[in-house]
Amino acid sequence: MTGTKKFTRTIEDFTCDKCGFSVVGSGYTNHCPKCLYSKHVDINPGDRAEACGGLMKPTSVFTKNGKSVIIHRCEVCGFERNNSSSPDDSIDALVALAASSA
């Protein structure tokens, strides 16, 4: 579609469906900073137009331009998306993810 926005800033708080952590959103928050899980709710980031709604499991992490990037895979439909890490993300969770995907 021509003219479709690729990113919509959506500021919202949420409770992580995986670990129950209460997350305060910034409009750029796309995963739980405690367990790193996300939710498959977007077609384009922030649009909340995806009907799947499955949990997005963090499957691996890599570094790009000095920043950690988390790969999430939907546990329902298998869709994968890369998400930048956040300064609020648990260092322990990121290290554990890196170790498990090495």
The pLDDT value given to residue 1: 46
Closest C-alpha to 19, from 59, 71, 68, 58: 58
pLDDT given for residue 8 in this prediction? 82
What mean pLDDT do residues 42-61 have?
94
Lowest mean pLDDT segment, chosen from 24-33, 50-59, 69-78, 87-96: 24-33
Spell out the SS3 assignment of 83-95. Answer: EECCCCCCHHHHH
Distance CA 32, CA 30 (A): 7
What mean pLDDT do residues 26-47 have? 93
Q: For residues 29 and 23, is the Cβ–Cβ distance under 8 A?
A: yes
The whole-model pTM stands at: 0.89
Using 50, 70 and 90 to split pLDDT, how confident is the model at 10?
A: confident
CB-based contact 58:84 (threshold 8 Å): no
| Domain extents in the chain | 14-100
